Amino acid sequence: MKVAIQGELGSFSHAAALRLTPKAQIVPCAASLEVFEAVVKGRAGAAVIPIENSLAGSVTEHFDLLLSQPVCVRREYRLRIAHALIASPGTQFRQVKRVFSHPVALQQCREFFRENPQIRPEPFYDTAGSVKHILQQDLRDAAAIAGVHAASVYGGQVLRRGLEDDKRNFTRFFLLRPAAGTRPLPGADKTSIAFTLKNLPGVLFRALSVFALRDIDLCKIESRPMRGRPWEYVFYVDFRRGADQAMQNALRHLAEISESVKVLGTYPAA
């Protein structure tokens, strides 16, 4: 099976994909939309995307795409993220004036830049892709932040390790499949949904009460702006429940209160 990822081989998405689908053929994509379209249009049977980091927070673009694209979450995986500073062979740390990496990775290494104000962070589309870029261009004043595996894949030199602000740095990944005809896996005990509400007094309280009344444990709630409707929001919720009767009743109750409800997936909790 082909599995699409956002980024190059050697990226953290690549590592997560190999753990979620060990025998898959990995298909690197430059942009997040390409990853989703690869699944929707049949160019890949599945995709692996980062959805949330324990230091930098949510990958908001992926929340928006989960809502708009006909895919569903099949599994989740939590990957320990350890960042390294990688440069072309022979480059010295004192030569480095700029560092390329994915914006989320740069956010996870704020202390490094605070301690080294002479180094400028530069956003790039991917962690491993930034290593590939500086090596292909032979940039002697630049380095990249990525996992050490990217250094071995592209022949880079590790200048420093452990750049992340906190060692308890994890990224949560989703395995996605086409939504049509997909049923939850055996043992699925966690559900992700998105819903919208009319702007009325107490409506969010009423929406959340459908879970509290049934002792369903909410483990995440987040709001995102709705495109084309300023100051209105989509609510994303994760809760610890599979597709049992209590969950079905809660969703039916929520549908009576909400403008729209979309189940993003029911899957085994990591």
- Our answer to whether residue 195 is catalytic in this structure is no
Q: Where are the beta strands (DSSP E) in the chain?
A: 2-6, 25-29, 46-53, 57-58, 71-80, 84-87, 98-101, 120-123, 142-146, 157-161, 170-178, 190-196, 217-226, 229-240, 260-267
Cα–Cα distance between 138 and 159 in angstroms, integer? 16
Q: Active-site residue among 21, 91, 127, 171?
A: 171
Rounded (5°) CA angle 231-234-239: 145
Torsion angle (degrees, nearest 10) of CA 110, 115, 121, 124: -50
**Best CA proximity match to 138, nearest among 82, 95, 81:** 95
Rounded (5°) CA angle 265-268-269: 100
Q: Which residue has the tokens 């992926």?
A: 62
Residue 262 DSSP one-character state: E
Q: Active-site residue among 173, 174, 211, 235?
A: 173
- Our answer to whether residue 196 is catalytic in this structure is no
> Are 167 and 30 a contacting pair, CB within 8 Å?
no
- Catalytic residues, by residue number, are 171, 173
